[in-house]
């Protein structure tokens, strides 16, 4: 069925999974920082976060990825030339994680900002009055409730992020799409291998849906659902 390219497809799939998970971790970290800045009382932080989300959401992902990858490589080349050092190329996997994480951090910023706002302020004030530190309020009160409101947005962002990993094939990373294209060109069965890649992406997102559904139940424990 895979004409001897099964192991190559498996390695490409594993590369895609690693890329997606590490990009997700970076995007969540940036999203939490961005959302905190957006709800902050400091106007400067709010403006920086707003510029970040406006820029990323207003420019296509592919354009941003190419701009970030080639601009960083250009700056590195200029630095090595200035220091009279040997030129080196940025690792495509590292570049992919950084660019996808940076791009989707903007979307997670808006997801977390809405979730922060949805948590009643009185509960946070009650935690502070009970003597909790800022970190304890975040861990015991804000984060568990915020996650319940944020999970639908997180699920949507994750699904789009997984599909966006296909873009890194343009910068030379041997992800699922790249190896499928190479296999298709070598065997003159392009449609067949692209279909295989599509099925694998569908399987990854379907498994993700099951995990996200479990997380939704976990963070909604004890919450009474409205009956229509």
Contact 5, 187 (CB under 8 A): yes
Q: Let me know: does 66 contact 170? Beta carbons within 8 Å.
A: yes
Whole-number pLDDT of residue 212: 82
Q: Residue 120 in contact with residue 138, Cβ under 8 Å?
A: no
Write down the pLDDT at residue 222. 54
pTM for this entry: 0.84
Tell me if the domain spanning 21-174 has CATH number 1.10.3720.10. Answer: yes
pLDDT < 70 stretches in the chain: 1, 219-228
């Amino acid at each position: 069925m895979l004409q001897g390219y099964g192991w190559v497809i498996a390695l490409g799939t594993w590369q895609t999974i690693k890329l997606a998970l590490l990009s997700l971790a970076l995007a969540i970290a940036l999203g939490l920082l961005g959302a905190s800045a957006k709800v902050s009382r400091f106007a400067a932080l709010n403006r920086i976060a707003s510029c970040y989300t406006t820029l990323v959401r207003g420019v296509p992902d592919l354009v941003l990825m190419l701009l970030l990858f080639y601009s960083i490589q250009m700056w590195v080349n200029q630095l090595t030339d200035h220091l009279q050092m040997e030129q080196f190329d940025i690792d495509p996997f590292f570049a992919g994680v950084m660019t996808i994480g940076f791009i989707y951090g903007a979307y997670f910023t808006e997801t977390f900002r809405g979730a922060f706002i949805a948590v009643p302020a009185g509960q946070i004030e009650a935690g502070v009055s009970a003597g909790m530190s800022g970190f304890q309020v975040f861990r015991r009160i804000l984060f568990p409730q915020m996650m319940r409101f944020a999970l639908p947005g997180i699920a949507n962002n994750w699904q789009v992020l997984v599909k966006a990993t296909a873009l890194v094939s343009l910068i030379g990373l041997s992800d699922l799409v790249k190896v499928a294209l190479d296999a298709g060109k070598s065997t003159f069965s392009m449609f067949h291998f692209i279909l295989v890649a599509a099925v694998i992406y569908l399987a990854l997102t379907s498994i993700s849906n099951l995990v996200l559904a479990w997380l939704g139940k976990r963070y909604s424990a004890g919450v009474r659902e409205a009956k229509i």
